[in-house]
Amino acid sequence: MVERTSKFLLIVAVSVCFMLILYQYVGPGLSLGSPSGRSYSEELDLFPTPDPHYVKKYYFPVRELERELAFDMKGEDVIVFLHIQKTGGTTFGRHLVQNVRLEVPCDCRPGQKKCTCYRPNRRETWLFSRFSTGWSCGLHADWTELTNCVPGVLDRRESTAAKTPR
């Protein structure tokens, strides 16, 4: 008799657990009603009304966001990649030197963090980033430091490249 009772309790417990799991997975999709009396779709307001006290701090006009800039890799243009910590900058910087399809791809040697990214027609770099030039302007240089540092570093690199025999 005890054995039958324990089997019955086990079956009841398993079925209750199954019903709870089923309700959690299937229940939210059904409109079974909610405690607040509103429908489920009303509770999931993805765009709630904005806080009237919120002041927009930064405003980017649409024309600025949609502007197109021409980049001439064979000319004198240089991309300066500003690396900002905790923003995915390392992943994006590595992607620039390893995965972008170029006429002359960057030369990335195994075991080295730096890659050589030359222009298609001469031995000058088109990318100024930590993965192509290293930390030439200091560790995590900000925009001001890069603005003051990049022209001098590029001039030095080009003058040493011109002095080396080919």
User: How sure is the predictor about 16, in pLDDT bands with cuts at 50, 70 and 90?
Assistant: very high
Q: CB of 121 within 8 A of CB of 113? A: no
- CB atoms < 10 A from the CB of 66, how many? 7
User: How sure is the predictor about 164, in pLDDT bands with cuts at 50, 70 and 90?
Assistant: very low
What pLDDT score was predicted for residue 166?
36
Q: What is the pLDDT of residues 57-115, one digit of tens each?
A: 777 788 888 888 888 888 888 888 887 777 777 888 888 888 888 888 888 888 887 88
* Average per-residue pLDDT for the chain: 77
Q: Look at 33-37, 83-87, 137-141 and tell me which has the smallest mean pLDDT.
A: 33-37
User: How sure is the predictor about 34, in pLDDT bands with cuts at 50, 70 and 90?
Assistant: low
Q: How many helices (H) and strands (E) does the chain have?
A: 5, 4
DSSP state of 79: E
Residue spans per domain, the chain: 77-163
Over residues 34-63, mean pLDDT? 65
Set 53, 83, 95, 140: catalytic member: 140
pTM: 0.52
Told to judge if 53 belongs to the known catalytic residues of this protein, a careful annotator would answer no
User: How sure is the predictor about 137, in pLDDT bands with cuts at 50, 70 and 90?
Assistant: confident
β 115-116/127-128 pair status: unpaired
